[in-house]
Amino acid sequence: MYSLQMHKLGSCRSVIRELFEYGKKRKAEIGDDAVFDFSIGNPSVPSPSSVRDTLIKILTEEEPTAVHGYTSAQGDPAVRKAIADNLNQRFGTDFEADNLYMTCGAAASLTISIRALITEDADEFITFAPFFTEYRVFVESQGGKLVVVPPKEPDFHIDLKALEKLITPRTVAVIINSPNNPSGVVYPEEVIRELAALLQAKSEEYGRKIRIISDEPYREICYDGKTAPFVTKFYPETLICYSYSKSLSLPGERIGYILVSNRMQDWKDVYAAICGAGRALGFICAPSLFQKLIARQAGATADLSVYARNRDLLYGGLTSLGFTCVYPDGAFYLFMKTCEADTSAFCAKARKHELLLVPADDFGCPGYVRIAYCVSSDMISRSMKAFAELAAEYGLSPR
Ligand code: PLP
């Protein structure tokens, strides 16, 4: 016997992974340069050289048993303090080591947070379409229900009226993601303030604290001088799920954290529940070498300016061909309207031009595709001919 639910999850890849695997196969057939693979959010810029230098220093100067040994289950206190100090310096907060739980990336941060908050009589997590597809897996695999607020076109900000109607006495938390995968939208402060006011009112109405789970792997990737508001400042009942996968280009190293805001009245109990969930799920003692690295590199980032250049190239190129796109303020995804109602048919036509675009149906937003531009600028330039052919096929008029 085995779990049918887990079997189903393990047997079907996500649409992104499916396309990524197709891309590898196709490149082997016709050559790397002939395929325009916009499928996956794997950072295209290397980690800064300080990451390599620091790793070498740690490996050569520190005791191997300490470098590779277990840390405390929630992460080394010195590492957590270094992160808290860095956040306090950047955001004017007053966190301590014990507000932080080290994890294997944002996926683990989210899974632990969901597990820690869910109860028998409150199991609904609300998110906004378009949303990162794995939220459904993380919530449903723990017995919860993912409630999706329909997309708010054309700006894809938070639809407060629609959200209000979906909050019930069973609502545990609202999951937000800004800068957003896949829309590239960054919620401005005003939107976060309005969300906070609504959740505060609803929490009072139902006599239950509705939390925000803020999923922030793209926090540092914002353009044109914009920044993502630091959510704990606007809503005390906040957990932040962070990862160094994108900001430091370390997705394979699996390192991140959960921040439990010390502005929550019961934060010590919530933190204990986070520790319990980490223990129950086996997510204890995040990779110790990379914990040590983060302690010395808290706040460092890769050269993220490449993504702004790619954004301009792609957005400018595609809109001038006649495609309709959401202007991304952050992350490294462009959200583009399909030229026919059937998203899969549009993606299949794009594939004929060797353009690998992710249909947004699983993001809760049919009629759009996600184009990951964490690729070389050269590939974006070369792909324009294929996009022009696709545009011509649909009779789009260049602008
Ligand atoms: N949340 C969002 C919105 C993401 O885009 C990703 C990864 O692409 C994750 C979470 C998972 O991040 P990690 O690789 O750190 O687990």
Residues 205, 209, 210: CA angle, nearest 5 degrees: 90
Average pLDDT of the residues in 112-126: 96
One domain for residues 86 and 161 = yes
Average pLDDT, the chain: 97
One domain for residues 277 and 151 = yes
Q: Which of 280, 296, 312 is the last residue of a domain?
A: 296
- The CATH number of residue 339's host domain is 3.90.1150.10
One domain for residues 41 and 90 = no
Does any domain span residue 399? no
Average pLDDT of the residues in 164-184: 98
- Model confidence pLDDT, tens digit, residues 350-389: 999 999 999 999 999 999 999 999 999 999 999 999 999 9
Ligand 1 centroid – CA 388 distance (Å): 31
One domain for residues 278 and 333 = no
One domain for residues 162 and 147 = yes
Ligand 1 centroid – CA 217 distance (Å): 6
Which of 132, 138, 250, 362 for mutating ligand 1's site (highest number of atoms within 8 Å of CB)? 132
Read off the pLDDT band of 320 (50, 70, 90): very high
DSSP 319-359: HHHT--EE--SBTTEEEEE-SSS-HHHHHHHHHHTTEE-EE
One domain for residues 167 and 269 = yes
What CA–CA distance (Å, rounded) separates 126 from 104? 24
One domain for residues 101 and 244 = yes
**Residue 64, pLDDT above cutoff 90:** yes
One domain for residues 82 and 133 = yes
One domain for residues 26 and 76 = no
- Model confidence pLDDT, tens digit, residues 197-213: 999 999 999 999 999 99
In this predicted structure, what is the pLDDT of residue 399?
83
Q: Which of 279, 296, 313 is the last residue of a domain?
A: 296
- Residue range of the domain that includes 328: 4-48+302-393
Read off the pLDDT band of 282 (50, 70, 90): very high
% of the chain exceeding 70 in pLDDT: 100
Report the number of distinct structural domains present in the chain.
2
In this predicted structure, what is the pLDDT of residue 398?
87
Which atom of ligand 1 is nearest to 177's Cα?
A: 3
Does any domain span residue 55? no
- The CATH number of residue 158's host domain is 3.40.640.10
Q: Is the CB of 278 under 6 A from ligand 1?
A: no
Does any domain span residue 62? no
